[in-house]
Amino acid sequence: MDLKLQNEDFDKDYGDLCAEDDEMDAVHASEGQLPLGDKISLLKNHRHKELETRQQLFRIENLGLNELMKLFHSSWTDIADFGKIFMEIKNTVSEYVMQNWNEDFLFGYQFLNGSNPVMISKCMNLPDKFAITQEMVEGSLDRGRSLQEELKAGNIYIADNAVLEGVQANATDPNTQQYLAAPFCLLYKTSQNEIIPELLIPHVHLTIAINTAAREQLICESGLFDKANSTGGSAIGKVIQKAMQTFTYKSLCFPEAMKARGVDNKEDLPNYYYRDDGMMIWEAVKSFVFDVVKIYYGSDETVQEDKEIQAFVQDV
């Protein structure tokens, strides 16, 4: 079903009817109506179609998750088995990744624009537990500098999953031994700039249903997350507890989070689209919220005198 075309058809019919029928003048007031209050057949039919469309969208089987779960019913013994995931979910990007996943350039790219682009940070000093020497990386440093010189120049990045250290792996299935490591790796920016090894309710009104489906199908006990991930079961709770130890209010502020990891400068770390796109979204949301707040608060003094806001600030 092409929802875009369907909506365009509705807009056309709606506009024609407005021009021909004086009864539609009542609609222009934009007053909220209960379903029983709709007297215009076109609006009643549209409401019914919209409900059916959303019901179909929110059914978990239409997200392909039931079919995806079938892929985890048998054991995987080889890296090539990951190809099973793409039997039904094929696109240009997924096929390219499958063909080049073991190349250095793509491995590094995943830390910038892969499924978890928030772990990479600039490395100025090597961790004590990272036993790496100049001899180990000399062949990868293309500027003729030593590892220490590259560290000082800001060309070394690190992805450290220390939050997983000490967390017991998922034990949902007593017949399956799962493993959970706390890996970390250094990533070198080459000379070619490649990385190798309430206000918002209208904008989030569809997330409640999809989150409900996720709780019931994905992260529930014995759900897809439990079956497919070593951090499933009780392990995810431990990971969240450890992550909260370093969580601050600034962690929620996108520019501050980028700056804290040393990845805020586009010249230092180009092609980091998570940062670039995220900053555009941040600025758009900031502009929207600022304009709305300005309607109710004309000055900084008004904000300072608002006891509820000040109480919220104190809580934070």
pLDDT band at 3 (very low <50, low <70, confident <90, very high): very low
Q: Mean pLDDT throughout 271-290?
A: 94
Q: Identify the three-state secondary structure at position 53.
A: helix
Q: What is the pLDDT of residue 60?
A: 46
Q: What is the pLDDT of residue 73?
A: 66
Residue 18 has pLDDT above 70, yes or no: no
Read off the amino acid at residue 228: A
Classify each residue of 101-122 as buried b or exposed e, where b means 16 or more C-beta atoms within 10 Å of its C-beta.
eeeeeebbbbbbeeeebeebeb
What percent of the chain stands above pLDDT 70? 70
Task: Tell me the sheet residues that pair with 189.
Answer: 195
pLDDT band at 174 (very low <50, low <70, confident <90, very high): low
Q: What is the pLDDT of residue 285?
A: 92
pLDDT in tens, 38-48: 667 777 777 77
Q: What is the pLDDT of residue 122?
A: 92
List the domain boundaries for the chain.
3-58, 61-102
Q: Mean pLDDT throughout 44-55?
A: 73
CB atoms within 10 A of CB 41: 9
Q: How many residues does the chain have?
A: 316
pLDDT in tens, 88-107: 566 787 788 888 888 888 88
Residue 225 has pLDDT above 60, yes or no: yes
Tokens of residue 123, six digits:
């490395």
pLDDT band at 29 (very low <50, low <70, confident <90, very high): very low
Work out whether the CA dihedral 142, 145, 148, 151 comes out positive or negative.
Answer: negative
Q: Mean pLDDT throughout 139-160?
A: 87
Mean pLDDT is lowest, of 99-103, 127-131, 173-177, 260-264, for 173-177
